[in-house]
């Protein structure tokens, strides 16, 4: 992967496949450290399965025999001297946490995380997403549940709404970067 935001897209697909209805994506930047957390309320995994998903030759899919998503993400975190963790409870959900040391030579750029979040929301208007972004002391939260309460029957992927969403993400991120 060229940027970590693409890994996030990939990891969230696992949550969607696991039947999650609420998915939280947190991206926290502190000095020399980037933490990405994806939490879902999907069907979860047993202890045994959790051990297996870091093995590239384990996958639940049937179209091919290799599952690279989790192993890639783990490798990218550990390459920087960071860490990777999966916590999961059967029938409750899964939490994937990856920590990166941003000053390391092998650190990949975060990339366009807003594009990832925007696409996930637009393509899955029935799911609820919570996006939490923090840079230093500043943060913002986007909760699609709140947007749906305002929008009523109008879907999140209606053209005018998705444009608003895109601009909103851009503006909020700019504020975090100091306007």
Partner 1 sequence: MKSLAELQAIRDKVRAQVSVREGQEDRIRILVGMATCGIAAGARPVLTAFIDELEKRGITNVQVTQTGCIGICQFEPVVEVVTPGKDKVTYVKMTPEMAVRVVNDHIVNGNVVQEFTIGAHTK
Interacting residues with partner 1 (CB under 8 A): 1, 6, 9-10, 13, 17, 61, 63-64, 67-69, 72, 115-116, 119, 122-124, 146-147, 150-152, 154, 158-164, 167-168, 171
Q: Considering beta carbons, is residue 13 or 103 the nearer one to partner 1?
A: 13
How far apart are CB 103 and partner 1 at their closest, in Å?
25
3-state secondary structure of 140: strand
Q: Considering beta carbons, is residue 33 or 168 the nearer one to partner 1?
A: 168
How far apart are CB 6 and partner 1 at their closest, in Å?
5
Using alpha carbons, list the distances in angstroms from residue 59 to 50, 65, 71, 151: 11, 7, 11, 38
Overall size of the chain counted in residues: 179
Q: Considering beta carbons, is residue 10 or 78 the nearer one to partner 1?
A: 10
Nearest to 13 by CA among 126, 120, 104, 137: 120
Q: Considering beta carbons, is residue 106 or 146 the nearer one to partner 1?
A: 146
Using alpha carbons, list the distances in angstroms from residue 85 to 35, 88, 99: 11, 10, 9
């Amino acid at each position: 992967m060229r940027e970590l935001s693409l890994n996030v897209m990939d990891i969230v697909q696992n949550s969607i496949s696991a039947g999650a209805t609420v998915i939280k994506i947190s991206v926290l930047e502190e000095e020399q450290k980037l933490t990405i957390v994806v939490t879902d309320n999907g069907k979860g995994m047993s202890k045994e399965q959790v051990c297996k998903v870091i093995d590239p030759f384990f996958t639940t899919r049937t179209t091919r025999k290799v599952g690279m998503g989790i192993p890639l993400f783990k490798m990218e975190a550990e390459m920087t001297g960071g860490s990777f963790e999966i916590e999961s409870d059967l029938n409750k959900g899964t939490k994937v946490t990856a920590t990166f040391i941003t000053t390391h030579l092998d650190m990949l750029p975060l990339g366009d995380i807003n594009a990832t979040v925007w696409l996930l929301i637009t393509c899955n208007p029935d799911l609820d997403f919570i996006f939490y972004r923090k840079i230093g002391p500043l943060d913002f939260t986007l909760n699609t549940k709140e947007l749906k309460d305002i929008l009523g029957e109008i879907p999140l992927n209606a053209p005018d709404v998705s444009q608003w969403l895109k601009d909103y993400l851009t503006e909020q991120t700019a504020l975090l970067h100091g306007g």
